[in-house]
Amino acid sequence: MTAGSGIQPGGECDRCHAWVDERVTIAIVETGSGPGGSAYGCLPCARIRATGPYAPDWLVGLLDDIDARRGTR
């Protein structure tokens, strides 16, 4: 499974529906046939999801990467 390429172009957050300048992949929709899709969310939503009980490992890693690159921790 891939987690996309990190920061995504701006748009509407799929979780809180706010319009934001940058989004990250917060969920990957896997389907049995045809192409799957991805859900994109703003960083605050991504962090909330990353701390939840169903947080995928790749999302936690993605946020760690972003924090490390920006030196925000």
Question: Contacting Zn ion (CB under 5 A), which of 45, 50, 59, 62?
Answer: 45
Identify which of 53, 57, 21, 65 has the alpha carbon closest to the alpha carbon of residue 40. Answer: 21
The closest alpha carbon to 6, from 20, 27, 23, 30, belongs to 23
Q: Determine, following the binding rule CB under 5 A, whether residue 68 of this chain makes contact with Zn ion.
A: no
Nearer to Zn ion, 19 or 32 (CB): 19
Near Zn ion in 8-27, by CB under 5 A: 13, 15-16
Residue 4 near residue 60 (C-beta atoms within 8 A): no
**Site residues (vs Zn ion, CB under 5 A):** 13, 15-16, 41-42, 45
